[in-house]
Amino acid sequence: MKKSFWLAGAATGVMALALSTAASAADWTDSTKISGRMYFDASTVSHKSDGAKTGLTDNGYGFDIKRFYVGIDHKFNDVFSANVTTDFQYKSALGATELYIKKAYLEAKLSKALDLRLGSTDLPWIPFVEGIYGYRYVENTLVDRTKYGTSADWGIHAKGKLADGMFEYAVALVNGAGYKSPPGAGNAKKFKSVDIEARVNVNFDNFVVALGGYSGKLGKDVQDAVTYHTAKRFNALAAYKTKTVRVGVEYFKANDWKNVTSMTSEDSSGYGAFASYKFNPEWAVFGRFDHVKPNETTAPSVKNNYYNIGVTYSPAKIVDLSLVYKHDKSDNGYVSTGNGTIGGSIEGVRSEFGLFGRLRW
């Protein structure tokens, strides 16, 4: 009899433990979300430098997956949460794709006015503009396309909303080397200084006006290295955004952005405009123009002009398909862009036509 009671008690304990474990697992699952986003295109490219295609390997037809993000969000309670977001890129040295971390942070939402993140997450400027522009899957925004900034970095990040969201701010103290260079990885050297990026914006009805800036060494101020300049960037944006219309203009001015370790000083600037109109729930048209002068001090005649125009079909909330023509031209020299180096002693022209898409879940 005692043995029966003991077995019954043991079985009850095992069942209780199993139920408790199952409940904990269910709670963890309920507090965890997995999301994904893919940018892809099927297009044809014509790329020439001084009228010739020699040595320019991107000419021709191809299907590309430009980005594939997988994000895991977990909420511990009403204050603390965490995120890990992976991305991948093709590594020519490996002859294969390489998976890496874009975001990895611990978040503390202390109030609407103060949200803190520790780790790698969105920087204040580029992701903010992407959200207003709406066509990141077609092309990077002005600053990102011409490599005068990056979208995420490792450090301490703070943001918040004031006056019922009329005013917003974001500030980040970061390493400056970008999200692909995590601190302490391998035998990475420590940085001797900290970079700062910040943004403030005012939202009134459907209008947005924003100012931002960056100052730092871009991860080049490490032990045993010599730097001659501090990279600085000023940003401004004005936009109008509704469910059907998006119109905006963006401007940046940079000093020594690509000359931190060079004795030569350099100024750069650029501006852009974009617009889109969604004339019914499934169809929209859009266009954009950028103008950049990367070497105002040393080669003021060098300039880059970019534009795109297209039509978008959105058959479902998670899918956007855009038929796009893109034209990128650099005069009197070479300009580094998100689509490679474009230019020549006289001019370089890169044109692309194809279907660009975004899949989200």
Q: What is the pLDDT of residue 11?
A: 43
- Tally of domains in the chain: 1
Q: What is the pLDDT of residue 248?
A: 97
**Backbone φ and ψ of 183, nearest 5°:** -65, 140
Q: What is the pLDDT of residue 93?
A: 57
Residues of the domain holding 194: 31-360
Sign of the alpha-carbon torsion through 186, 153, 143, 320: positive
Distance (Å, whole) CA 56 – CA 50 = 12
Type of residue numbered 297 = T
Let me know if residue 68 belongs to a domain: yes
Let me know if residue 97 belongs to a domain: yes
Let me know if residue 340 belongs to a domain: yes
Let me know if residue 2 belongs to a domain: no
pLDDT at 260 over 80: yes
Q: What is the largest CA-CA distance in the chain?
A: 99
Share of the chain above pLDDT 70, in %: 88
User: In the structure encoding, which two tokens stand for residue 334, read together?
Assistant: 């070479």
Helices (H), the chain: 2-30, 126-133, 142-145
User: With b meaning 16 or more CB within 10 Å and e meaning fewer, what string describes 171-190?
Assistant: bbbbbbbbbbebeeeeeeee
Contact between 242 and 266 (Cβ < 8 Å): no
At 160-188, the pLDDT tens digits run 999 998 999 999 999 998 888 776 665 56
Let me know if residue 15 belongs to a domain: no
- Partnered with residue 312 across adjacent β-strands are 284, 322
Type of residue numbered 253 = K
Arithmetic mean of pLDDT over the chain? 89
pLDDT at 280 over 80: yes
Let me know if residue 245 belongs to a domain: yes
Q: What is the pLDDT of residue 221?
A: 87
Q: What is the pLDDT of residue 15?
A: 46
Residue 125: give its domain's CATH number.
2.40.160.10
Distance (Å, whole) CA 141 – CA 179 = 18
Distance (Å, whole) CA 127 – CA 212 = 12
Let me know if residue 1 belongs to a domain: no
Q: Which of 60-69, 264-273, 319-328, 329-338 has the weakest average pLDDT?
A: 60-69
Let me know if residue 314 belongs to a domain: yes
